[in-house]
Each structure stands twice: as structure tokens, then as C-alpha cells.
Amino acid sequence: MSRTEHDIDWGKLKSELKEAAPQLGIDKIGFAAADPFTELKGILLKHRAKGFESGFEERDIEKRVDPSLTLAEPRSIVSIAVAYPSKLKDPPRSEPGAYRGMLSRSAWGTDYHHVLRNRLERLADWIHARVPDARLASMVDTGALVDRAVAERAGIGWVGKNCSVITPEFGSWVYLGEMITNLPFPPDQPVLESCGDCTICIDACPTDALVGPGQLNAQRCVSYLTQTKGIIEDDKLKEKIGNRLYGCDTCQIVCPKNKGIHFDHHPELQPDPEQVKPLLKPLLEMSNREFKERFGSSAASWRGKKPIQRNAILALGNFRDATAVPQLAELLRRDERPEIRGTAAWALGRIGGEAALEALDAAREHERDDAARREVEKARMKLRERKDDHVGSAEV
């Protein structure tokens, strides 16, 4: 270091950094000790044992709780928050025959991973300009550490019963990132506010995925389900997905701590209404190139085109959009992806009608994929039973 550790007033440097944060595009910055998150280890192990993980997280639990496994001899962790918008100006309307899907707010604007990486780079430049040989390790979302635990320890906010970090200033509409450092910044105090007796998010969750305060069964969470690539086998879960194409905001929208909170001062995070609330039927025919052009810049694109198309089919089924039957029948007949064929079969069963039943009867003859076949059979049975009921009631 050009200056020794003892020459630097770390408390003063921290205050200067807090003051500089807005110019770096950071809305809130907090400092935590880099001790292991010992209390978290048991929680993560239990979570895994119960099968509540999404599978998208870092597998090595030791790495998730011990900052020294990412950066040797860490002294502090800097946690940052960037606020994102919660409201869409002039949202396009869903109408019969022209229904729309919805991307969650975390997929509005430019992929937040890029935005946060940019902020962390600016933060690193700021630190290196003052402490040239500082050692820093930055991470966003898929990094080893648990963002929420870091943010809570660093005084950014508290972890609500909906598992989001809630800041007093920006509610839970914030992206989080962190930087492990070898610099002895003094730590901040955790936020004292809490959820109290409120359980609104737990009661509002459409799939009962919040199995307790701050405990999420990711396998039931719509946000996770929309990011999976296979056929969603549970029909009840298919229905609960509604018209969500990516992510789910319900437990944040209902939170009273988010009431009236909307910050849209970061130009990169501004939503394009046609991208975040797109018409469903055109999505079914998107080429890979069109998908890249339309969604490539959004965080919703990370799992590729298929989950978005599968979810668009679910949404059309959930809207019971009869005008989509010809397109769904065509997908069932010709699409090369069994997940798309199986989901189209389910949607046809949910929409119903003669043409849907004909398409399902035809698929019964040629469908060879086991999972897609099961969907065809279930949907056919449902429509056949409905038809028999109608005939029966007409005869009475």
C-alpha cells in the first residue's frame, strides 16, 4: 500500500465513500465485518435437507458462509443497494384475443447483473484511487455469499418475512451486490425495524411457498418455477403461474413497507412497456434472433427462449384464450421440444372446445415423449369428461 494501514483514517474514508456513493450510481452503501456467517450455516443446511433450494445457488455451503474462502484474510464487506422502479408508466392493456404476459420488476430494464457489476467496478476504482493495493472481490447474485445476510449485517435493511431485504428508504425494490475487502472499514449497525406481527406476504403467496417467516420453499415459488425449463407437472402450480412469464412480485407488491415507493432515477433500469408486458401469441413464434433482440438485454433471458415460451402457453391457457387454439394445436403437432408440446396440450385442455379436443386426439396417435404424452392424456380426459357431462345434462 502507498500508505500503511495505520496512516489511513478508515472511519473518515468510509464517510467519504458514503458521500461519494450517489455519484457512483449507488443508492445505499453499508459496511460489515467479514466474520463467517456462522448462524447462517445451520439454516442453509436445514433448507437443503428439506429440499427447499432452487438449485441456482452456490453449492458449497462453506463458501456461502465464509468470506475468507473467496478472499484471503478479509477485513470487511461493503454491501451496496441500487433502487429499481416498481411502477410501469402507461402499461399496455391485456384484452380478449390480445392477452399479455408480465415480467417481474427484477427483469425490467437492463439486466441488473450488468448494472450492479458496473457500480461495483466504479466502487473498486474509487477505492483503488485511494488505496492502490487494496484487495477486493465483488459479487452479484450468483456470487458465493448470501447477499441478503451481508446486506442485513451491513445495515442496508432487514430480511422480511417475504425473504427480501427491506430498506427503510427504498422498500425491497433494490438490487444488492457486495465486495469483500482486506480493508478494516468500521462496521455499520443493522437496521432495527422489522416486520412485527404482519404476515401479509405469507398469506398472499399464491403457492404457499413462504413456509414460514423468511423461509422459502423455492420448489413451490412461482419465481423459480418460471425459470425452470421442463414441463411443470403439477396442474395447480401451472394455474397459479397465471400470466407471469418471468419471476413473481406478489410478496413484494403486497408488502406495506413498499407502499408508495417508486424510484426510477437510473436510466438503464427503465422498463420498456412492450418488453415487460408483451403480447402472448407473438411470443410463441419468436425465432432465436427475435428472442435475443427483444429480451437479450433483460435479466429474463438468462434461461433462454424456452421457459418464456412455455410460460406464454401457460398464460394463454390460464386466460382461456380460445383465439390461441390454432397456434397451440400447431405447436402440439409440430414443435420439436416436448416441454412445449406438453404445455400446449395442457393449455388446450384448459381452454377446451371441439378444435382443442381434435388436436389432442390427433396428438395421442403421434406423441412419443412420455412427459408430453401424460399431458396429452390428462387434457384429453378432462375435455372428454366435460363433453360427456354436457351430453349427459342435455339428455336429462
Identify which of residues 120 and 202 has a Cβ nearer to ligand SF4 in the complex: 202
Residue 76's DSSP bridge partners are: 33, 181
b (16+ CB within 10 A) / e for 83-121: bbbbebeeeeebeeeebbbbbbbbbbbbbbeebbeebbe
CA-to-CA distance for 218 and 205, rounded, in angstroms? 12
Identify which of residues 236 and 289 has a Cβ nearer to ligand SF4 in the complex: 236
Residue 178's DSSP bridge partners are: 79, 139
- DSSP count for the chain of H helices, then E strands: 16, 10
Q: How far is the CB of 240 from ligand SF4 (least distance, A)?
A: 8
CA-to-CA distance for 248 and 210, rounded, in angstroms? 13
b (16+ CB within 10 A) / e for 266-299: beebebeeebbbbebbebbebeeeebeebbebbb
Q: How far is the CB of 107 from ligand SF4 (least distance, A)?
A: 13
Whether the Cβ atoms of residue 81 and residue 266 lie closer than 8 Å to each other: no
Q: How far is the CB of 170 from ligand SF4 (least distance, A)?
A: 14
Q: How far is the CB of 18 from ligand SF4 (least distance, A)?
A: 26
Identify which of residues 162 and 318 has a Cβ nearer to ligand SF4 in the complex: 162
- Catalytic residue (one of 90, 133, 141, 249): 141
Give me the sheet containing 136-139, strands edge to edge: 28-33, 76-83, 174-181, 136-139
Identify which of residues 161 and 382 has a Cβ nearer to ligand SF4 in the complex: 161
CA-to-CA distance for 209 and 226, rounded, in angstroms? 14
CA-to-CA distance for 209 and 197, rounded, in angstroms? 19
Q: How far is the CB of 56 from ligand SF4 (least distance, A)?
A: 14
Q: How far is the CB of 121 from ligand SF4 (least distance, A)?
A: 30
Residue 102's DSSP bridge partners are: 244
Identify which of residues 76 and 250 has a Cβ nearer to ligand SF4 in the complex: 250
CA-to-CA distance for 358 and 348, rounded, in angstroms? 10
Is there a catalytic annotation at residue 141? yes
Residues 6+ apart with CB under 8 A from 122: 24, 25, 26
Identify which of residues 203 and 388 has a Cβ nearer to ligand SF4 in the complex: 203
Contact positions vs ligand SF4 (CB under 6 A): 160-162, 195, 198-201, 205-207, 209-210, 216, 221-223, 248, 250-251, 254-257
Identify which of residues 251 and 359 has a Cβ nearer to ligand SF4 in the complex: 251
Number of other residues whose CB lies within 10 A of the CB of residue 138:
21
Q: How far is the CB of 217 from ligand SF4 (least distance, A)?
A: 8
Catalytic amino acids? 141
